Amino acid sequence: VLMVSLLLSMGSVFAQTPAKKSLPQVPITYPGDTDESIIRRAKWIEEAKKEGNTLSWWGILLPAEAGKELAEFNKVYPQIKVEYWRGEADEVASKLELQFTSKRGMNDVALGAGEINHPRWRKMGMLEKFTDLIPGIGKWDKNFYGPEGDSAVPGSNATTPQHNTKLVSPAEVPKSWEELLQPKWKGQLGMPTDPRAWWTLALAEGGWGVEKTLDYVTKLKAQKPQMQKGPPQGHALLIAGDFKIFTNNFIRHVILSQAKGAAVDWCRVNPIILSGPNIILPMYAPRPNAARLFLEWYLSPAGLRAHE
């Protein structure tokens, strides 16, 4: 009788234990997902519908590069129409700041607006925190997202000098940054106006430090380089033969151009400069839920593979 009573009592306890609620269906899950993040993602999807399932993305990627990434994003979220606008870093930054000061929101996500602006923008209240919403962010290297939680680097660019292989013989190819200072290259160089590569060389771990970098850039200026507005334009002019060497540009541009048969290669110098554009969520973005879905995907393994 005692045993029966105990079993009945246990059965009563089991019957009173509430069943675990099933999670909502979402089109994608990520490493590091929790019940909370999946429920949150489902809510963002519903709220994005109310926003019109549209998204405005401003960035520095070439349209073909951005288009490739957006095609992958739309395999997961085909209902979200993304409008992409490309500009140079200073142009993206200027538009973002004008948007904020005029309180007329157009943009939802920005890539490459210049991290040098971030301290001032934080004081202005321009940046929304979002990195704590990224599943698995705790396993990232801390150098790829800021402690303030309002920016992240989706990938690194490797920067070196580049040369036109029709105009520079294999024996002449510079094997160090210092060789760009040789008299024979005076007037034969192209150089982007964007100083971020030099900042990285001066300040990053394994770089030259401020004093050596400043001395080098001063001497490089004396070589009378043809200044170019941006890396893509300078790279195109290098291939066209407007100058023999482009002082610093992304290696990925060389890889893409070589695949098309262009006569261009990168110089095997040391150190290779590693840098990357930051992606941010502007405060007062008109479509914040679609933006969070995009950022969550863009910084996931699936999104990062699309950047390759």
Tens-digit pLDDT profile for residues 5-15: 434 444 444 44
> What's the rounded mean pLDDT across residues 269-287?
91
**pTM score, two decimals?**
0.70
Binning pLDDT at 50, 70 and 90, where does residue 239 land? very high
Determine the Cα angle at 18 with ends 16 and 20, to 5°: 155
Binning pLDDT at 50, 70 and 90, where does residue 45 land? very high
Q: Is the pLDDT of residue 2 over 70?
A: no
Q: Which is nearest to 30 in space by CA: 307, 277, 298?
A: 298
What's the one-letter identity of residue 132? D
In the chain the first and final C-alpha atoms are separated, in Å, by 70
Buried b (16+ CB within 10 A) or exposed e, 214-253: eebeeebeebebeebebbbebbebbbeeebbbbbbbbebb
Place of tokens 């234990």: 17
> What's the rounded mean pLDDT across residues 55-83?
96
- Other beta carbons within 10 Å of 131: 20
> What's the rounded mean pLDDT across residues 43-53?
98
Tens-digit pLDDT profile for residues 158-181: 899 999 999 999 999 999 999 999
Binning pLDDT at 50, 70 and 90, where does residue 308 land? low
